[in-house]
Amino acid sequence: MQQVKVYQEVLDEIHRLIKEEGIMPGDKLPSERTLATQLNASRSSVREALRAIELLGMIVTRRGEGTYLRDYKSFQVMQLLATFVLQDTQTVENLTEAIELLENFAIEKAKVKIVPSELDELKRIINSNQSDREKHHLFFERIFNYADNQLIFHIWRLMQDFEEGLKTDVKYNYPYERVIMQLE
């Protein structure tokens, strides 16, 4: 439980640092070593906090260049998810269920809006030679587009990225053909 506290404190301190130093999207963050010194934290705690922030799309690390702040709307979202992930042992299961709920919601919304040419596009995606991961993402990006709900799409995308960051063996054996039949 102590690691959760240290990790959360580091997240809060990085947030404070960004605000106080006026770091803007596109600006470079201090190095991991510098942050550890400034925040009086271990490098591993800083590294863990930065990794979580990166998984949430708040920062981007460019090899050989450093870490940069991305354009973001709400740091509170990152804090909420990071706290949830660190405190709940069922996180991966819960995330998977939440992702499935969002995907099912999008399928239901898309049912009333989809046209035959869009169904053909979905069929091309599931029959493509792309990796299972790419196929899944592309398929559902299209579904969310047809459902015409960008907020839900962005929440889904964030959760997908977060889930992939939490576990390395994400399986993408989805019943795409059944979804196509539902949409027809």
Domain end among 54, 82, 110? 82
For residue 158, what pLDDT is reported? 76
Mean pLDDT, contiguous 10-residue spans, the chain (184 residues): 60 82 88 91 85 77 86 57 58 80 94 91 92 88 91 82 62 79 85
| Whether residue 103 sits in one domain with residue 22 | no
| Whether residue 93 sits in one domain with residue 67 | no
The C-alpha atoms of residue 144 and residue 148 are separated, in whole angstroms, by 6
| Whether residue 111 sits in one domain with residue 151 | yes
| Whether residue 72 sits in one domain with residue 137 | no
For residue 142, what pLDDT is reported? 93
For residue 3, what pLDDT is reported? 46
Query: Residues 137, 177: contact at Cβ < 8 Å?
Result: no
**Residue 30, domain CATH:** 1.10.10.10
Query: Residues 45, 10: contact at Cβ < 8 Å?
Result: yes
Print the domain residue range for 104: 89-183
| Whether residue 121 sits in one domain with residue 51 | no
- How many structural domains does the chain have? 2
pTM of structure: 0.56
| Whether residue 97 sits in one domain with residue 78 | no
The C-alpha atoms of residue 41 and residue 30 are separated, in whole angstroms, by 14
